Structure formats: C-alpha cells, structure tokens
Amino acid sequence: MFNKNIKLILAALVFGTAIWQFTDRNIGNGIMLILLSIIFVFLYFKNEIILLAFLRLRKQDFDGAKKWLDKIKNPEASLIKKQQGYYYYLNGLMVSQTNMNEAEKYFKKAETLGLNMTADMAMTKLNLAGIAMTKNRKREAQRLLGEAKKLDKHNMLDEQIKMMQQQMKRAGQPKQHYGGGGRGGRRMR
C-alpha cells in the first residue's frame, strides 16, 4: 500500500510521461498512460485496502476483512479524511461483536471524521445508539436514534430503528413483580 501523497506523485509522473508520448507521436502509449494515471487518482480517493475489506464484508468474511484492515498501519498518513472515517467505521463493525467499549471509540471517531454515504452515517449512529442503550444512557440513545432516522433517507434501516425504539420503550417501563405473600397473594403451605 502506498502513501496517499506517493499516489499523487505517481499519477503526475505517469501523466507527464503520457504527454511526452503524445508529443513523440505514440498516441496509443499516451492513451494507455493516461488511463493508468486515472487509476492512481482513483486509488487516492478510494483506498484499495478499504475496497478489499468491503468486498470481504459483503461475503460475510469478517476475519478476511480484519486482515485487510490490519495492513493499514498509519491511517492518518495513508488515507484521506473520509477514508479514515471508513477505516474506523469498518473497525467498529468488526469489534462490535466482541468489545462494545472499543467499538464505541471507533464509531465515534468515524462519526467525527465523516462518511461519504448518509446510509453509512445512519448505520454508525444506529450502532452508537445501541451501545448507549446497553450502557443505560437513554437520552443519548434517543438523540442518536433520531439522527439515524433523519439520515436514513431510503428507509433501509427502518426495521432496525423501530426495533430499537421498541426495546427502549420496554426498558423504560417499570418492572412488575408477581406472586409472593403480601395482601391478596396466596400463601403456600
């Protein structure tokens, strides 16, 4: 994996070589080199490691996705801001099955860095709301759930949001105790 600045330098060098090929009347080589420079620019904005981790996630291969993400040693130097958000978002998804505190840290970092797609940001807020609900922070969970609902423009997370709202209502109800020997209760002999 290349540093993000090296990708831009390579794109400029390849583009310069393409211009040289055009002036040298090698049109085919110039076109091919321009296409190659476009690939480097694309990989500047869409990191190849994160793309491969997303592909592993689509196949439900969490271990494979984690291996790809572990190849990024220094996300601040290797990734642009939005890619860093996706790096922390994917790490939060991986860790959320085992360690809620660490997952919360990753999701909050992804939230502050931002994500390109509103559906991904809605999913981040929904996960944060679930974590807040398990930690008995009801106000924060309600706020995050409201933000997730606003961000979910295509109603892709509608069922999960409704289910979480129902769970919050159940958690807010007082617990009732049945049985026992007070007034009106039956005594066991």
Judge residue 136's burial from the number of C-beta atoms within 10 Å of its C-beta, 0-12 exposed, 13-18 middle, 19 or more buried.
exposed
From CA 23, how far away is CA 134, in angstroms rounded?
Answer: 65
DSSP character string of 82-96: HHHHHHHHHHHHHHT
- Average pLDDT of every residue of the chain: 86
Please choose, from the candidates 83, 77, 106, 79, the residue with its C-alpha nearest in 3D space to the C-alpha of residue 93.
106
Query: What is the mean predicted confidence (pLDDT) over 11-38?
Result: 94
| Domains of the chain by start residue, with CATH | 1-45 (no CATH), 47-170 (1.25.40.10)
Residue 172 has pLDDT above 80, yes or no: no
Write down the pLDDT at residue 177.
55
Model confidence over 26-77: pLDDT tens digits? Answer: 999 999 999 999 999 998 888 899 999 989 988 988 889 989 999 998 888 8
From CA 123, how far away is CA 144, in angstroms rounded?
Answer: 10
From CA 168, how far away is CA 5, in angstroms rounded?
Answer: 46
Task: Assign 2 a pLDDT band (cuts: 50, 70, 90).
Answer: low
Q: Which helix (H) or strand (E) holds 35?
A: helix 27-45
Task: Assign 181 a pLDDT band (cuts: 50, 70, 90).
Answer: low
- The number of CA neighbours under 13 Å toward the Cβ of 119 is 7
